[in-house]
Amino acid sequence: MDDRDPPGYDDWFDEPEPPTLESGRAGRPSYDTPAETEEDVWTLPEDRPRRPRRDGRRGDIVIGGRALTTTQVAIIAIAALAIFIAILAAAGVFSGSPTANPPTITTQTTLQTTATTPTTPTVTAPTQTMKTGATGAQVKLLQRELKALQFYTGTVDGSFGPATLTAVQNFQNANGLTADGIVGKQTLAKLKQAVAGFGG
């Protein structure tokens, strides 16, 4: 590197100068002077007349800056056609027969109606006395009966809890009994009467 070169100068990529007449070796003429029988052989690429560059060979089709042969274009066209046909088939365009509405057949039918009386569920009154905290089949009977009489709205689970207690107290109030929430003999008798009047 020469001291006169600016910092960072690298002559690695500099092109060598062509040999001159003085620098010819072994008596060979340099490239600067053509021989008598031939014309100038040394031409730099920038001195040559440039031919317009062709993107493809003869008969090629240029799409998007790429040269495609007619075979490649044909393959692309066939693939596009196959995709188009597949989309139409998926949409049902090629179904065998058009959907036709079936003919409407109207027939009159006469249904014989019979008068039916609505049936009420069979409700059985409990037979044992009980109070809050009781469990079992007798509590289920009590809950079903109170539900049928529209005093109880909870679940028939066989457990005499707060909801059953409230339902018993409401039933006792509605029937002129002491609303103590205990299902004793008087409450059982009123429940039996209510079931009989209910149709049980």
Q: Enumerate the domain spans of the chain.
A: 61-90, 137-198
Average pLDDT over residues 101-118: 66
**H-run or E-run covering 62:** strand 61-63
Q: Residue 19 is which amino acid?
A: P
Contact 140, 156 (CB under 8 A): yes
Decide the pairing of beta strands 66-68 and 61-63.
antiparallel
Q: What is the pTM of this model?
A: 0.40
Share of the chain above pLDDT 70, in %: 56
pLDDT band at 20 (very low <50, low <70, confident <90, very high): low
Q: How confident is the model at residue 200 (pLDDT cuts 50, 70, 90)?
A: very low
Q: What is the pLDDT of residue 48?
A: 55
Q: Which residue has the tokens 């088939």?
A: 89
**Residue 19: is its pLDDT beyond 60?**
no
In tens, the pLDDT along 110-141 reads: 666 666 655 555 667 788 889 999 999 999 99
**Residues 143-175: tens digit of each pLDDT:** 999 998 889 988 999 999 999 999 999 999 999
CATH number of the structural domain 137-198: 1.10.101.10
Strand partners, 135: 159
| pLDDT at residue 126, rounded to an integer | 83
Query: 171-176: long-range contacts (C-beta < 8 A, 24 or more apart)?
Result: 171/146
Q: Which of the four pLDDT bands, split at 50, 70 and 90, describes residue 199?
A: low
Q: Which of 173, 151, 197 is nearest to 142 (CA)?
A: 151
